[in-house]
Amino acid sequence: MSRGACLITMTALTFAFVAGCTGNLKSSPQGRQCSQGLDAAYEELRVAQAEGLDGTVELTKAGGLLTAAKVQYEFEHYPNCIDKVRRARLYIKSARGG
């Protein structure tokens, strides 16, 4: 086997291995924590908006953080997702007077 063919084969096997591993991460403890946090924060945001707080700076910041957290979740960067969800929930709490 030529060096180029060997390199291509090794690259393909590496990608196959990585692709096979990523499917299990969303069920990891951090993946579940991120997902559950996103669900709770989006519900808190919906309630705050229903209370008429939709235009507040805090809720705008929270919405941006939740959007970024969702991207982090999709890319399986769970510690970043968890941090953004935590910060978003603090903004929502602040907007609601808490």
DSSP 23-69: TTGGGSHHHHHHHHHHHHHHHHHHHHIIIIITT-HHHHHHHHHHHHH
Question: Which of the two residues, 3 and 33, has the higher pLDDT score?
Answer: 33
Domain spans in the chain, listed from the N-terminal domain onward: 25-95
List the structure tokens of 31.
């993946």
Give 57-77 pLDDT, tens digit per residue: 999 999 999 999 999 999 999
Question: Which of the two residues, 34 and 56, has the higher pLDDT score?
Answer: 34
